[in-house]
Chains A and B, each alone.
Chain A
Amino acid sequence: MPESIPVSLTVNGRRVEATIPARLTIVDFLRDHLGLTGTHVGCAHGVCGACTVRVDGAIIRGCLTLTAQLDGGTIETIEGVADSGEIADLQEAFYARNAMQCGFCTPGMLLTAASLKARGRPVSRQEIRDHISGNLCRCTGYQAIVDAIDTVVNTDGVNADSDGGRR
């Protein structure tokens, strides 16, 4: 009945073998064991979304997921999707629109935005707002973030708002 669990994970394309405490959440594993500090802890109870990472292609809450449960899984963090170029368009849009202030929510926000983009269809501004409504930003008031996501997800410049208005 071990307290220490061997796990084998693929993190940002790299194979990681480790023996970890049973109680270790994936966000703490990434931050404290792998030095991947781009994923943040804002609440540790699943509300703020700062700890958003991808497991097997789907975004999850890093603070509500035990590392031990992810044995054999594929983890992607902000560092991975940024360095691979996968989210370059979102990064550029966030940069140009200043869609962040303190930056603490930004990695989680980008991964959440990427999952909306992956749906591959135009969305309304309200859909963007609802989609990111599990990610708390205390600084921006969200509008800059919605603007930035809008320009990337609705690439033809027309979103799904009935009035066609952008902002």
Chain B
Amino acid sequence: MKPPLFDFQRAETVDHAIALLGEHGDEARLIAGGQSLMASLNFRLSSPGLLIDITRLDDLKGLTAGADGLSLGALTCHSEILLSQDIARNAPLMTAAAPHIAHEAIRNRGTIGGSIAFADPAAEWPACALALDATIEIAGPAGIRRVPATDFFKGLYETELGPGDLVRAIHVPARPAGERHSFQELTRRHGDYAIVGLAALAVWRDGRLAMPRLAFFGVGAKPVLATAAMAELDGSAGDAAAMGRACEALTAELDPFDDLNASAETRRHLARTLLRRAVARLTWEGADA
């Protein structure tokens, strides 16, 4: 299990990386932390002609917190997110999600930009980006553009990234006052990809849920913002009747797949279970606001 032959070049700037992508087309792949790509290279499941190393691009680094939210450079690694006080204050959903990503040795190298760009349907960051209504900043041949996460994920490993594009940063808008979060995933073992996961946010005020955001992962070709279930819960008390409607809506809007771990039916069942548990947490009177 040695990777196939390829060439290697370190990108000096973002423009350099984009130029190399333009020059080599489909033959070229970007590599940052490489925690997914290297496994597929070792398996010889992919054989790019050229790897473009983007880990030295200062433009893709840095984490800033301001009044309008958080900005995470694409090269921010999972461990930095886990330990960041700025993130714990401004997007605690991400702090809750980070320990679920594999293990420390992988979190030290894997990046949020890589996770977003790879768009594994069972991964944590794409779902968090959906739940948080984040914006993905893309650098490409035509310059820089920002795409809402709700538009970014298009299909199985398919995103808004076109030829010559790379993820530059992830922007998370400031959270509404009183927002609570619940991050859950069902894995057979700590650190595995989720069979089903749910990144959930809502404001809990005066006994009502407001602005709920439910992003499921592991339930389809891409992370799913469960808008129908969200609509059922918005303004409700999260009571049994509302939960019943939300679960019904959720069942209809999910289109999961079968794999060795779980059938589509099992995934729907587990997704409903996670939804109930998330709402119980979001509406728990003992919870911290």
Contact flag (A, B; Cβ within 8 A):
yes
Give residues in A with beta carbon < 8 Å to B. 1-3, 5, 21-23, 25, 28, 44-46, 49, 52, 55, 58-61, 63-66, 68-69, 71, 112, 115, 130-131, 133-135
Chain A proximity of B118: nearest CB distance (Å):
14
Q: Is B240 interfacial (CB 8 A cutoff)? A: no
User: Once bound together, how far apart are the Cα atoms of A133 and B104, in whole Å?
Assistant: 9
A69 pairs with B31, CB closer than 8 A: yes
B4's nearest neighbour on chain A, judged by CB, is: A23
User: Once bound together, how far apart are the Cα atoms of A64 and B114, in whole Å?
Assistant: 14
A25 pairs with B105, CB closer than 8 A: no
Interface size class of chain B, counting residues whose CB lies under 8 Å from the partner chain: 20 to 34
Q: B1: which of A1, A22, A44, A133 is its contact (CB, 8 Å)? A: A44
List B contacts of A23 (CB < 8 A). Answer: 2-6, 41
Chain A proximity of B159: nearest CB distance (Å):
22
List B contacts of A60 (CB < 8 A). Answer: 105-106, 108-109
User: Once bound together, how far apart are the Cα atoms of A26 and B208, in whole Å?
Assistant: 54
User: Once bound together, how far apart are the Cα atoms of A64 and B50, in whole Å?
Assistant: 17
Chain A proximity of B82: nearest CB distance (Å):
12
Most buried by B among A3, A71, A133: A133
A134 pairs with B191, CB closer than 8 A: yes
The A/B interface has a contact count, at CB < 8 Å, of 98
Q: Is B13 interfacial (CB 8 A cutoff)? A: no
List B contacts of A69 (CB < 8 A). Answer: 31, 34, 53, 55
B105 pairs with A59, CB closer than 8 A: yes
User: Chain B, 108-134, contact with A by CB distance < 8 Å: what is the 0/1 string?
Assistant: 110000000000000000000000000
Closest 4 CB pairs of A and B: A134-B103, A22-B8, A64-B38, A58-B108
B38 pairs with A46, CB closer than 8 A: yes
List A contacts of B6 (CB < 8 A). Answer: 3, 22-23
A/B interface sample: 24 pairs, CB < 8 A:
A1-B50, A2-B8, A3-B5, A3-B6, A5-B8, A21-B5, A22-B5, A22-B6, A22-B7, A25-B3, A44-B1, A45-B42, A45-B43, A46-B35, A46-B38, A61-B105, A65-B34, A65-B109, A69-B31, A69-B55, A71-B10, A133-B191, A134-B105, A135-B103
